[in-house]
Structure 1
Amino acid sequence: MIYTVTFNPSLDYIVGVDDFRLGATNRTSYEQMLAGGKGINVSYVLKNLGFESTAFGFLAGFVGEEIRRKVAADGIHADFLTLSEGVSRINVKLKNIDGTEINGMGPDIAADQVSALREKINQLKAGDILVLAGSIPQSMPDTIYMDIMADLQDKGVEIAVDATRDLLMNVLPYRPFLIKPNNHELGEIFGVELKKREEVIPYAKKLQEMGAKNVLVSMAGEGAVLIDENGREYMSPVPKGKVVNAVGAGDSMVAGFIAGYLEKKDYEYAFHMGIASGSASAFSEQLATRAEVEALLKTIHSAG
């Protein structure tokens, strides 16, 4: 079974505004409201690709109830914990203004509530896959992903981590199955600027040396790089297409990689599935569907 964790779920309010002007009243020309958060996005794309998962996370207030309603209506299995105080966040995403976003803070999560979620996660068994994705509320320690992995260390659970800075670096000694920084996040870790696929490889290998089994680096329009646990290097440009909505593209790449690996236990195929899934979401108003992914998959050829 696959499980995803989103500590800070959101209601994503995606809007288009023609001729946006600062300091003036602007009116939307396009609106879309989706249940969001990186782990939830992964669950959506996994379902579209034919893989069921269970979404864990915290919900609060009227926004939380709307997230719960949308997730259930879309057929995503979830096991959310409800907070007695606060309100889940609303993220405003201006789709036609260079990817500008305004992300909410989300509710505070008390230690006993974190413990309750960890108890659920500790029920996972050998062969299960856990996806830890996204930011955490300010009230939580940045060791939380590491703490969860320590709990599961000897249980045979494969764990994918899509996070930044300390959230990511702290987990490396626990040998995550997959990590997916983008090139900017990878560059921040090592204090360098990485623009080309070839430049990414030595730094991705450093993260592998620090413990990660598979390192998948997304690079937006530049494509992606994978260093698999056998030391093989894969590089690929992004498929041709028009970017319509980049929200969830990175999460879709994680879902595609996991789905591809489960289908064939082949890292090159998983890599291509990840690229096709991320691109399919970026080229669509919605998250990637199986048909969209398969169409793009035919166009992808590894350069490494």
Structure 2
Amino acid sequence: MIWTLTVNPSLDYNIQLENFSEGMVNRSQKESITAGGKGINVSVVLKNLGINSTALGFTGGWTGVKIESMLSKKGVDTDFVYLSQGDSRINVKIKSQTETEINANGPVIDAAHVEFLFMKLNSLCHGDTLVLAGSIPSCLGFDFYTRIMKFLSDKKIDFVVDATGNLLLETLQYKPFLIKPNNHELGEIFGVKIETQDQALEYAKKLAEKGARNVLVSLAGDGAVLLAEDGSAYKCAAPKGTVVNSVGAGDSMVAGFIAGWNEKHEYEHALKMGISCGSASAFSEGLATFESAMGIFKNLS
């Protein structure tokens, strides 16, 4: 069973403008509303690939009800903790000459609701996969992921962690099955600039030495690399295409890797599925579909 955790999900209000002018009245060309959050994106793409997962996290207020309703319509199973106070946040994504995001803080999550989430997590079984994705609100403390991993440490869960900085580094002591920094995030950890696949593999090895079993590094237009648990290294060039939307591309890569690994348990296949799904999302306005991902996959060398 695959589970995803989005601690602070959102309704994303997507606005497309021809030109965005600060301090002026701007008229949109197109708007849409989607359920947002890194773990949620993973669950949606997995569903698009025909793989079931259950989305966990916290929701609240009318926005929380809307998030769950939108996921239900997509066929995604959910088991959120509904907060007694506060509303799930609304984030604004502006697409114009550049992409601009305005992310809200979200509701305060108290100890009683955290305990309820841990009760749900306790139902996970040996061999399940749990995706821990995104940032943690300050009300939960920056050790929240490690608390979860420690709580489940006797169950042999395959943890997938998509986080940044110290939040990611602290999880390595629990030997996550997969981590997925991009080249900028990887460089920030070690105070270097990573521009090539070989550099990415060099620093991926340092994270493996700290405990990560598989390290997947995305490099945008330069493709992706994988340092596998058995020490083997794999490179994949980026497919050709026009980037329309970068939001959710990294989450889609995580979903594709999980899908590819579950299908064949072959590292190269999982990497290609990951980059296919990530690119399919980047090349379209929405998240990767089975058709768009497979169209890219069949043309990868």
For Structure 1 versus Structure 2, the TM-score category normalised by the shorter chain is over 0.9
Deviates more, 1:234-243 or 1:91-100: 91-100
Give the 3-state SS of the residue equivalent to 2:262 in structure 1: helix
Q: Deviations over 1:195-227 (max 9, x none)?
A: 121111111000000000000011112211110
Aligned position for 1:288: 288
1:6-17 aligned at under 5 Å gives the runs 6-17=6-17
Amino acid of the structure 2 residue aligned with 1:132: L
Amino acid of the structure 1 residue aligned with 2:92: V
Aligned position for 2:67: 67
Aligned position for 2:199: 199
Counterpart-to-counterpart distance in 2, 1:122 and 1:27: 48
Give the 3-state SS of the residue equivalent to 2:217 in structure 1: strand
Q: Is this contact kept in 1: 2:19–2:97, CA < 8 A? A: no
Counterpart-to-counterpart distance in 1, 2:22 and 2:53: 42
Aligned position for 2:185: 185
Amino acid of the structure 2 residue aligned with 1:200: A
Aligned length: 301
Q: Is this contact kept in 1: 2:20–2:96, CA < 8 A? A: no
Give the 3-state SS of the residue equivalent to 2:80 in structure 1: strand
Amino acid of the structure 2 residue aligned with 1:15: I
Q: CA deviation at 1:96?
A: 2.7
Does residue 166 in structure 1 map to residue 166 in structure 2? Answer: yes
Q: CA deviation at 1:42?
A: 0.3
Amino acid of the structure 1 residue aligned with 2:253: M
Amino acid of the structure 1 residue aligned with 2:262: L
Counterpart-to-counterpart distance in 1, 2:205 and 2:99: 30
Counterpart-to-counterpart distance in 2, 1:197 and 1:96: 30
Q: Is this contact kept in 1: 2:41–2:248, CA < 8 A? A: yes
Q: Deviations over 1:52-104 (max 9, x none)?
A: 00000101112111111111111110001111111111111112332211111
Aligned position for 2:250: 250
Structure 1 runs (4+) deviating above 4 angstroms are none
1:241-280 aligned at under 5 Å gives the runs 241-280=241-280
Give the 3-state SS of the residue equivalent to 1:35 in structure 2: strand
Aligned position for 2:113: 113
Aligned position for 1:4: 4
Query: Please, what TM-score do these two structures have when normalized by structure 1?
Result: 0.97
Give the 3-state SS of the residue equivalent to 1:23 in structure 2: coil
Counterpart-to-counterpart distance in 2, 1:148 and 1:226: 26
Counterpart-to-counterpart distance in 2, 1:97 and 1:265: 41
Give the 3-state SS of the residue equivalent to 1:160 in structure 2: strand
Amino acid of the structure 2 residue aligned with 1:277: C
Amino acid of the structure 2 residue aligned with 1:199: Q
Amino acid of the structure 2 residue aligned with 1:251: D
Counterpart-to-counterpart distance in 2, 1:20 and 1:273: 35
Aligned position for 1:221: 221
Query: Please, what TM-score do these two structures have when normalized by structure 2?
Result: 0.98
Does residue 55 in structure 1 map to residue 59 in structure 2? Answer: no
Q: CA deviation at 1:112?
A: 2.0
Q: Is this contact kept in 1: 2:58–2:83, CA < 8 A? A: yes
Give identity over the alignment, percent: 55
1:23-172 aligned at under 5 Å gives the runs 23-172=23-172
Counterpart-to-counterpart distance in 2, 1:218 and 1:122: 32
Counterpart-to-counterpart distance in 2, 1:140 and 1:218: 28
Counterpart-to-counterpart distance in 2, 1:285 and 1:250: 14
Q: CA deviation at 1:138?
A: 1.7
Amino acid of the structure 2 residue aligned with 1:253: M
* Structure 2 unaligned blocks of 5 or more: none
Counterpart-to-counterpart distance in 2, 1:61 and 1:286: 25
Counterpart-to-counterpart distance in 1, 2:158 and 2:211: 13
* Structure 1 unaligned blocks of 5 or more: none
RMSD: 1.0
